[in-house]
Structure 1
Amino acid sequence: MRDFAPTKRGFVLLLCLLLLPALTGADEGTARRLINAQGCKGCHSLEGSGGNRGPALDGVGRRLTADQIERQLLNPKARNPDSIMPRMTHLSAENLKALVDFLSSRK
């Protein structure tokens, strides 16, 4: 019969699984705060609130890959020269990643 004593690898895996929701929630909270603080909802809607000048952010993860979302955030005029969306180049790498991860999860 096999001994079921915890192994180091098993403990690390369990710890990661337990911390994953907290880490995901923190990034989601950061992304939601950024969406509000950067004024995104002035033009884009999300979950039923916001503007309609730009495309809805609901489902953006179905329409664009994470790389495309990041490029859109950093240089909106590349895809649409008439875009009035400001560049998000002032965001830290961590905030940009949180925003891209959140938006790409909107399926």
Structure 2
Amino acid sequence: MPVAPTKIERRKLVATFDEAERAAARNERGVTAHVVLVKADDRTSLPRTAKDKFLDPPKGEGIGPDRDEPFPLADTVIHSWVHYMEAFGEIPTELSEYAKLVKELTAA
């Protein structure tokens, strides 16, 4: 699940994971969900803060029965590169982060 490293996105993720868990209960193919940070700008503290909150959520902001378990967070981060923004309506030519993400998730 792509999630920007902002507080509003993190808050919406709890409800999204609730739905994913309901779908997983009917899933017979072994499909899993992972959180992927997107639109990350390493010049700010937002990606680091979001990662910390996903891996060590405050009570009630995580997953699991007590909503205190960590989210399954991908190691790969998709940054907010200018070439992604400029490629609106086209296929970007630089996709190395996405290739890394696909490798990571297929190995999981």
| TM norm structure 1 | 0.26
The structure richer in helix per residue is: 1
| TM norm structure 2 | 0.25
Bigger Rg over Cα: 1
